[in-house]
Amino acid sequence: MRTLFVLLDKEFRQFFRNPFLPRMVILFPVMVMLVMPWVTTMDIRHIGVAVVDLDRSEASRRIVQKIRASEYFTLDGLSESYAASLEDLEEGRVDAILEVPDGFGESLVGGNPVRLRIAANGVNATKGSLGTQYLMQTVSSAVAELRDERGLPPAADPVVAENRYNPTLEYRNYMIPALMIMLMIMICGFLPALNLVSEKETGTIEQINVTPVGAFTFTLAKLIPYWIIGLVVLTLAMLLAALIYGLTPVGSPACIYLAAILFIFVMSGFGIIAANFSDTMQQTMFGMFFFVMIFILMSGLITPISSMPEWAQRITWFLPPRYFIDIMRAVYLRGAALADLHFEYGILLLFAVLFNLAAALTYRKRS
């Protein structure tokens, strides 16, 4: 333990003596949280829809056919139980519910048709907003066709929309948790790797290599400072989100911090692995940039995974940020608890153990 504390003292002294890193740790998250939520926007496809058909009429069947034929939707369920479909919505298995009430088909003949209801998952504001609009257009098109076939005049809009978990459909509410994750990827992944490789380039690591310091102790000393920095950055980002955008977690902040600790372990371990196989900072930066781009583009940070091709969706199961993203958005916007996300926590723990074990095993002392 004394050796570990001595090495930690060395790491913290190096960090605070660096003219750039302390400023970056503060200014980088501040600038990201101030700028990025205002400039990010996306479009989506393959919106999962569950239809609750209480009418079982020609009109309801026509609407279902329209949804099934649309390239924007994936019909994920057709039932008569709204409660079961709502459970699927809460679990993220569908993105929207369309409820066709009893008597809807008959009401089209009259002048005051029964209104349909859409319940959309507003956690993903893009899917919630655009998905609701697409679904309303599809339903209105089907109703217009039916009325035209029967020689009836156009009717008023038959749909009432409800956005759950993010009622205002603010895209910022969807992106802010993702931005926090991007910060942690950069700070807890890049910095430990660059720190270790910089010692290789300056030659100071050779002094460590001829000491009795073990690989595990040395690796742990390299990681702990960035575990602490990661939690500081996350706290700062959460405070900025609350003060500037009024966005606070619906669920327990303890769930966020637990997931963050596991993810920090994952990314710092991954950074050390990259450094162990690099001899220069340039090699490390290119290697880390390659994987970080995959993490950002394929883990659901920016674009929904369900909109990706099937082969790409399979790859995302092996990307650690995917699980942290699910946890952050579920806790922040939906108020999910630890018991609801035990699978995601378990996978993060598995990645943390594997990456940090690999980081210690791939470090080789060279005398």
Instruction: Kindly give the interhelix angle for 215-245 and 21-39, rounded to the nearest 10 degrees.
Output: 40
Per-residue model confidence as pLDDT tens digits over 181-240: 888 888 888 888 887 787 777 766 666 666 666 667 777 777 788 888 889 989 999 998
Domain at 118, CATH number: 3.40.1710.10
Q: Are residues 91 and 206 in the same domain?
A: no
Q: Are residues 215 and 355 in the same domain?
A: yes
Residue that finishes a domain, picked among 115, 149, 164: 164
Q: Are residues 73 and 25 in the same domain?
A: no
Q: How many domains does the chain have?
A: 2
Residue at 109 is within a domain: yes
Q: Are residues 64 and 154 in the same domain?
A: yes
Place of tokens 């010692």: 199
Residue that finishes a domain, picked among 115, 130, 164: 164
pLDDT for the residue 367: 41
Decide: 139 and 107 in contact? Cβ < 8 Å.
Answer: no
Structure tokens, 165: 């978990």
Structural domain of 208: 2-39+171-362
Q: Are residues 68 and 160 in the same domain?
A: yes
Please name the residues in contact with 2: beta carbons below 8 A apart, sequence gap of 6 or more.
none
Query: Which helix (H) or strand (E) segment is 77 a member of?
Result: strand 73-79
d(CA 126, CA 145): 28
Q: What angle do CA 26, 234, 187 make, to 5 degrees?
A: 60
Q: Are residues 321 and 353 in the same domain?
A: yes
pTM reported for the whole predicted model? 0.65
Is the model's pLDDT at 161 over the cut of 50?
yes
d(CA 265, CA 189): 9
Q: Are residues 17 and 123 in the same domain?
A: no
Q: Are residues 224 and 342 in the same domain?
A: yes
Residue that finishes a domain, picked among 164, 189, 206: 164
Per-residue model confidence as pLDDT tens digits over 91-132: 778 888 888 888 877 777 666 667 788 888 766 656 666 677
d(CA 114, CA 103): 7
Please name the residues in contact with 336: beta carbons below 8 A apart, sequence gap of 6 or more.
251, 255, 327, 330
Q: How confident is the model at residue 42 (pLDDT cuts 50, 70, 90)?
A: low
Per-residue model confidence as pLDDT tens digits over 237-248: 999 889 988 888
